């Protein structure tokens, strides 16, 4: 797996999203239900932002905001770092490291087709390394 499209083909293209006018409590419940650390914020098919556990902790909890009365749009990150299906695994790792993000929405023709987490990328790297190790073992063993 060298490209985003290959990772998405393996993990699936499910996108967990929430409306910007929903409460942060609703968002946290959604994250818990799906076992994810972030939700894309989408309204009418348009990607507006992302709400992560980090956003909730830093902009919500630390500022004394109530999760039941605070709206997603009040805490979400709007300066999005995105990628495309033809981006490489290494390119995504560089981007995530440089921009200090843990989730990358994947866009094709301006539409969201998936989300990659740092965990997805690490899993892909481990698969690639296992494959390389096996190839080297076969080469050495003849």
The candidate with the shortest Cα–Cα distance to 89, out of 47, 131, 26, is: 131
Q: How many Å apart are CA 15 and CA 1, to the nearest integer?
A: 20
Locate 131 and state its tokens. 């494959």
Q: Does the structure show a pLDDT above 90 at 63?
A: yes
What number is the average pLDDT over the span 63-67?
93
What number is the average pLDDT over the span 43-64?
95
Q: Does the structure show a pLDDT above 70 at 56?
A: yes
Span 72-125, pLDDT tens digits: 999 999 999 999 999 999 999 999 999 999 999 999 998 999 999 999 999 988
What mean pLDDT is reported for the chain?
Answer: 93
Contacts with 120 (C-beta within 8 Å, 6 or more apart), sequence order: 7, 11
What number is the average pLDDT over the span 25-46?
96
According to the model, what pLDDT value does residue 1 have?
59
> Strands, DSSP E only, in the chain?
17-18, 38-43, 46-52, 83-84, 103-108, 111-117
User: In 114-141, which positions are buried (b, 16+ CB within 10 angstroms) versus exposed (e)?
Assistant: bbbbbebbeebeeeeeeeeeeeeeeeee
Element (H or E) spanning 29, and its range?
Answer: helix 24-34
What number is the average pLDDT over the span 119-140?
88
The candidate with the shortest Cα–Cα distance to 113, out of 76, 91, 87, 75, is: 87
Length of the chain: 142
Q: How many Å apart are CA 80 and CA 70, to the nearest integer?
A: 21
Percent of the chain with pLDDT over 90: 82
Q: Give the CATH number of domain 4-141.
A: 3.10.580.10
Domain ranges of the chain: 4-141
């Amino acid at each position: 797996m060298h490209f985003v499209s290959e990772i998405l083909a393996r993990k699936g293209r499910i996108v967990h999203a929430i409306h910007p006018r929903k409460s942060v409590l609703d968002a946290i419940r959604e994250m818990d239900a799906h076992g994810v650390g972030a939700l894309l914020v989408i309204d009418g098919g348009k990607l507006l932002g992302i709400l992560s556990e980090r956003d909730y902790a830093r902009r919500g909890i630390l500022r004394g905001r109530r999760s039941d009365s605070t709206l997603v749009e009040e805490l979400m990150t709007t300066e999005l770092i995105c990628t495309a299906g033809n981006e490489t695994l290494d390119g995504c790792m560089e981007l995530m490291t440089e921009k200090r993000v843990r989730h990358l929405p994947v866009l094709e023709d301006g539409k969201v087709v998936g989300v990659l987490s740092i965990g997805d990328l690490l899993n892909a790297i481990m698969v690639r390394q296992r494959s390389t190790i096996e190839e080297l073992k076969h080469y050495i063993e003849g």
